[in-house]
Amino acid sequence: MAKVIVRDLAKKFMWTIVTGDSDSLNRPLTLADTNRPGLELAGYFPDTQTKRLVVLGDKEIGYIEEQMDEISQRRSFGFLTGDSTPCIVVAHGHECPPVLKEIAQRKNFPVFKTEHQTSHAIVSITNYLDECLAESVVIHGELVRVFGVGVLITGRSGMGKSEIALELIKRGHQLVGDDRIDCYKIHDDLVGRTTPMLEGFMELRGVGIINVSRMYGVGAVAHETQIEFQIDLEPFNDSYEYDRVGIEEKEYNEILGIKILKMTIPVSQGRPMSSVIETAVTNFLLLKDGLDSAKEFEERVGLMSEKNRSTVYDVVKNYVTEKIGDLTGLEVMATCPRSSQSKIRKRNTGNGVFFGIVDLHKEVEKNI
C-alpha cells in the first residue's frame, strides 16, 4: 500500500478538483519532489522524471497561452498526463488550459487548482512529502524531551525505562513516545514520534496504561522531536570498569545514516536515574556549546600533576621552550635590556642550556 496518494494531498491543502473521479485520486506519490515542466512544454521529454507531481505556475501558464499552439499543447499535455504522473496542480488561481482539461477528462487524470502562489505551493508540497515519504525504522525504548533535547532511552526489557521517563515527566520534561518509537530521516535530521494510537499513553508494570496528558497536563506530551542524544541503560556490573571521568572517546550510534551521541549508563538500586539523565543532558548541551568538562578537568590535572610539573618554573619553561625553543642567558639579557643580571638565574637543564624563565616572563611583561 502506498504511503501517500493524491487524495491525501488534495485533502491536506484543500485543492479544488478540476478533472478526475474518486478512483483517479488513488494514484500514488513516490518522490518528494515537484516538476515545473518548462522543457516538456517546449517539446523536450527524454530526461523527464515522470513520477513527480507537476505544478503549473505563472510562467508556465503564460507560455502556454502566448507561445503554444493547439498541436504543441496536445503533444505536451498528452505526455504530462501519463500513467506514472500523480497529478497536475495549477497554482496562483489560474484557470486550467482548455486543451489540458479535455485531455485529462478523457484519461480520467486528476488536475487541481489552488489560489496559493507557485513557490508557496511547491514548498508546502515538498515539505509534506518529505515527512510522509521519509525513510523510517522502529526502535524499542522511550523518547523524551529533556531541556529541549530529544533523548532516546534504550535498554533491555525490565530496566525501568518507563519508570525513569515518568520521573522525568514529573520533573517538568515532556514525553514523546513510550515503548514504540518511529524514527524518520527528514532532510539531515533524525525525528522521532510514536503512533497516533499510543500518543500520550504510557504502560507501567503493575499499574497498567496511564494517560500522561490528563494526569500531568497537555504540556507534558510532545507530538515529535528531533533525536539528538541516546542513553542506553544496562545493569551495573562490578567487574566492568566504567568511564568515571568522561575523557574516553565518545560513542556514537548510527540510525538511518545519522550519527547521534550515545552514552551507556549503569543502573543500580537506589540510583536517582532521572537526576543522572538530567545531568547527562546538561553536559551534552555544554558539549554542543564547545565546553567539555572532562577535557577541562584533564587539562587541569595535567597541569598540576607531578609527572608534568614539579614547579611553576618548569611549567612556564616547558611551554616557552615548546613555542620558541631554548634560550640562553645572553639572549634573555638581549631581549630584556632593562633587567639586571642578578634577575637572570642560571639553571642547568642537563644539556648546557640554562634558564631563568620565570624572571624572563616577568621582564617580558614589563617590556611590552
Which residues in the chain are classed under CATH 3.40.1390.20? 4-131
Confidence check: pLDDT of 368 > 60 = no
- What pLDDT is recorded for position 337? 55
Summary mean pLDDT of the chain: 85
- What pLDDT is recorded for position 270? 85
- Identify whether 178 is a catalytic site residue: no
For the four alpha carbons of 215, 277, 290 and 297, in that order, the dihedral sign comes to positive
Nearest to 294 by CA among 243, 229, 359: 243
DSSP for 213-277 reads HHHH-GGGB-SEEEEEEEEEEEE--TTS---SSS-SPPEEEEETTEEEEEEEEEE-TT--HHHHH
Residue scoring higher pLDDT (123 or 296): 123
The fourth-level CATH superfamily of domain 136-292 is: P-loop containing nucleotide triphosphate hydrolases (3.40.50.300)
- What pLDDT is recorded for position 347? 45
- What pLDDT is recorded for position 319? 61
| Grid cell of 155 as nine digits | 535498554
pLDDT digits (tens, 9 = 90+) for 218-273: 999 999 999 999 999 999 888 777 777 676 778 999 999 999 999 999 998 888 99
Nearest to 110 by CA among 100, 120, 97: 100
- What pLDDT is recorded for position 311? 52
- What pLDDT is recorded for position 220? 96
Catalytic residue among 33, 179, 182, 314: 179
- What pLDDT is recorded for position 364? 47
Q: Cell 551534552 maps to which residue? A: 284
pLDDT digits (tens, 9 = 90+) for 282-336: 999 999 998 888 788 777 776 555 555 445 556 556 666 665 666 555 555 555 5
Catalytic residue among 94, 113, 145, 161: 161
- What pLDDT is recorded for position 327? 58
Which residues in the chain are classed under CATH 3.40.50.300? 136-292
- Identify whether 179 is a catalytic site residue: yes
Residue scoring higher pLDDT (342 or 4): 4
Catalytic residue among 47, 188, 244, 338: 244
Catalytic residue among 59, 120, 140, 288: 140
Give domain 4-131's CATH number out of 3.60.150.10, 3.40.80.10, 3.40.1390.20, 3.65.10.10. 3.40.1390.20
pLDDT digits (tens, 9 = 90+) for 332-358: 555 555 545 554 444 444 444 444 444
- What pLDDT is recorded for position 248? 72
- Identify whether 187 is a catalytic site residue: no
- Identify whether 92 is a catalytic site residue: no
